Structure formats: structure tokens, C-alpha cells
Structure 1
Amino acid sequence: MIITVAGFKGGVAKTTTSVHLAAYLQRSAPTLLVDGDANRSASLWASHHGLPFAVVPEAQAMKFSRQFEHIVIDTGARPSGDELRDLVGGCDLLILPTNPEAMSLDALLQTTEALQTLGGQYRILLTLVPPSPSREGDEARALLEAEGLPVMKTAIRQTAAFRHASAQGVPVYSVKNSRAAKLAWWDYERAAQEIVAAVGEQA
């Protein structure tokens, strides 16, 4: 299975999503995370040697990919139209994380217009959703669904646990003594289960 994670605005949890999808998939089969972002955020996360899967830069992906059943690709930010076409054609499912802020949603809507002309399978994952009683997440979901876009049922709640996980170089479930970390991992588990099911439906 090849899952590509793409972001069209910074700060939408693209690398966080890539890391945690890879952590979930690793539990069933060997998984490789390909770091295709110039910022090398995934590689920095992995430099503490606390991730349960392999991380390699994009230039080494061909060399190592045959050894893995699952591949998650953390792409560079803001892909062009040609890059977007290549991303769609090169994976089983394209995941588009977005936070519920207006600027992020505007950038996403411009991207989905291009995707609809390209075809290909993609899902939108709402991330960094503020806790209740904020209605930002619900309002963002309603907007995207009104546009007829494929929004995932699961949303990822905003929590400092992800920042701690990145600083420690571990998946969020390894952050000690944190109820928020357990809930954060639960969100990504459910998101990953949705993704696996969506890929299975295409097979």
C-alpha cells in the first residue's frame, strides 16, 4: 500500500500525519516513511531513533522500497499542477490534511478543483481541531461536505502531545503519563483504519 500525504499550506500537520499513519501501518507489516519535504521534518523526528519504522529521504526511496509492504510519502509543500498529477498517479490514496482555519480551507479548495480534473483517489483529513466548545471543526466539515468533497469521518484533535512526541522523536502513543497522548493516538488509529478501508474498497 502506498499512501501519500500532501499539504498545500504550512502548519496543517502533514508530517505529523505521515508519521502516525506509518506507525499504524507498521503494526501489521514493514512500513517505510519517505521524507520528500525539503524541511526534512520526518527525518528530524526519526533522528532520535524512537520511531518503529524506517525513514529515508526521497532520493533513497527506490533503493529501499522493495523491502517494505507499506510506504507512506511525506511530500514537499505546495506541489505544482504537474507534481500533483504525479502524486495522484503514484499512490493508492492521497491524504490531504487541513486545519479548520479559513486560509487553509481556501488553499485546500483550490487544490481539490485541480484534483477533480485529474481524477485519482483522495481523502481530506481535518487536523488541529480545537477542543469543545469551539465549533471550528464542525463548521469546516460542513463547508467541505457542502462542496461534495470526500472528508474523512475522523478528525484529529489539537493537543500539545504531538509537540512532545516530535521533541522526543517518538509516536504520540509513547509520550508518557499523558491522557491527551492516548486520545491523540486513538484519533490517528481511527483515521488510519478509514484509510485502509478506503484502499481496500478500490482493490
Structure 2
Amino acid sequence: MILTFAHTKGGVGKSTVAWHIAHAMKMIGKVEIVDIDFNQTLHYINMIAGKPFTVHQPRTVAELYELISRTTHDVTLIMDIGGFDSDLNRAAIRHSDHVVIPIAPDKVTEVLGFRTFDAILSELDTVDTKFHILFNNIHASTRNLDKFKENVPGERFTILKSAIRSRKIYYSTMGDGESVFSSIGNVTARKEIEELRDELIGK
């Protein structure tokens, strides 16, 4: 499976969620990471962590295609792509099984940025790619998310039932090269990530 975290806007939590999901996926199978983000966040965090994952950094569309072609079916590729439009990012999206778009639904800038991203996606031939909205970094007191769903345009997207709330533990563990599944993790945060993983794999 190729699972890509994408959005044209930076700072929406793509790398953070991708890092923790990589650890959740590793609990049930083989995982490799593809870091196409110019910030190289996952590459550096993986180094801090002692390189628990193989992290690929293709710089051209040809390199990405070659990587995908030699990846076996028992490996989950988790791709983190930058907050910008490029041929490389578009190629990653086109060849993904699932594209997860994290947005904080109560932040106007992220919702508007999402509409820009939707316009880009409309130009791509993505017949087999499934697109999912992940409500991310939601305030802990927010319970009813229905009011945000009207901001999601078109029929291209599925709004995931799973949601990630604003928790310091996601960032503090990542900064130490850990994840919410480490000894310094958090049971509630682990459950959120596990629920997201299980929903994406159809469990």
C-alpha cells in the first residue's frame, strides 16, 4: 500500500501524523518512508531516532517511479510530500492508494488552502486513488465535527471517521525521535493513531 500525506499548505501536520502512522503500521507489517518534503522532516527525525525506518528521498519523477516499481507488496510506503505544487508531488499523488489530507477545520487558512489543493487534484488522472480528509489538531473540547463537513468541496473526498486532537505528546515524542507508541507515549494518542491506521487499511 502507498499512503501519502499531502496538502499544498505547509504546517498542517502532514509530517507529524505520517511519523506516528509509520510506527503504527510497523506494528503490523513492513514500512518504508518516502520523504519528498523540502524540509526533510522525516529524514531528520529518523536519524535522531537511530534510523528505525528506511527513508527514501527521490528527487525526480523517474527516481520515484523506480522506487515504487521495486517496492514489494508486503511493504507499506508512507510518503510525506511538501506543501507546494510540483511534478514530483503530482506523481506521488497519482501513484498512491490513499492520500490523506490533514486540516484543522476551524482554521480558515487551512480550509482555503484545501480548496486550492482540490483544484490541483482536479487536473490529475487519479482513477484508483482514494482521497481522505483527516480532521487534525482539533481542540480537545470540540465534539461536534458536522459543522465543518460543509467546508469540504465536491464528492472526491471521504471524511475519515478518525480524528486527531491537539495534543502536545505528538510533538514532544517526535522531537525526541520517539512516537506515541514509545514508553513516553500516551494511551489516548495511541488509540487515535491506531484508529486512523485501522480505518485506512479497512480493518
Give secondary structure in 1 for the equivalent of 2:79.
strand
1:94 aligns with 2:103: no
| Alignment counterpart, residue 73 of structure 1, candidates 75, 79, 95 | 79
Conserved in 2, the CA contact under 8 Å of 1:34 and 1:56? yes
Aligned residues: 192
Conserved in 1, the CA contact under 8 Å of 2:25 and 2:31? yes
| Alignment counterpart, residue 124 of structure 2, candidates 118, 121, 129 | 118
Offset from partner CA, 1:139-179 (integer Å, 9 cap, x none):
323432x7544211111000110121122101122152x6x
Q: Report deviation, 1:29.
A: 1.7
What TM-score does the superposition give when structure 1 sets the normalisation length? 0.81
Give secondary structure in 2 for the equivalent of 1:150.
strand
Conserved in 2, the CA contact under 8 Å of 1:26 and 1:53? no
Percent identity, please: 23
Give secondary structure in 1 for the equivalent of 2:25.
helix
Give secondary structure in 2 for the equivalent of 1:109.
helix
1:33 aligns with 2:33: yes
Q: Report deviation, 1:36.
A: 0.9
Give secondary structure in 1 for the equivalent of 2:18.
helix
Give secondary structure in 1 for the equivalent of 2:109.
helix
Greater shift after overlay, 118-127 or 91-100?
A: 118-127
Give secondary structure in 2 for the equivalent of 1:172.
coil
| Alignment counterpart, residue 143 of structure 1, candidates 138, 145, 151 | 151
2-structure distance, mates of 1:9, 1:63:
26
Q: Report deviation, 1:115.
A: 2.1
Report the equivalent of 1:104. Answer: 110
1-structure distance, mates of 2:51, 2:178:
5
2-structure distance, mates of 1:50, 1:195:
27
**Residues 34/83 of structure 1: CA separation in 2 closer, same or farther (3 Å cut):** closer
2-structure distance, mates of 1:57, 1:141:
34
2-structure distance, mates of 1:84, 1:13:
17
1:1-203 alignment, distance < 5 Å: 1-49=1-49, 52-59=52-59, 62=66, 66=71, 69-80=75-86, 82-83=87-88, 85-100=90-105, 101-120=107-126, 121-132=130-141, 134=142, 137-144=145-152, 147-148=154-155, 149-174=157-182, 176=184, 181-197=186-202
Unaligned runs of at least 5 residues, structure 2 = none
Q: Which amino acid aligns with 1:165?
A: T
Conserved in 2, the CA contact under 8 Å of 1:45 and 1:166? yes
Offset from partner CA, 1:75-126 (integer Å, 9 cap, x none):
122224x455423321111111112211101111221233245353211111
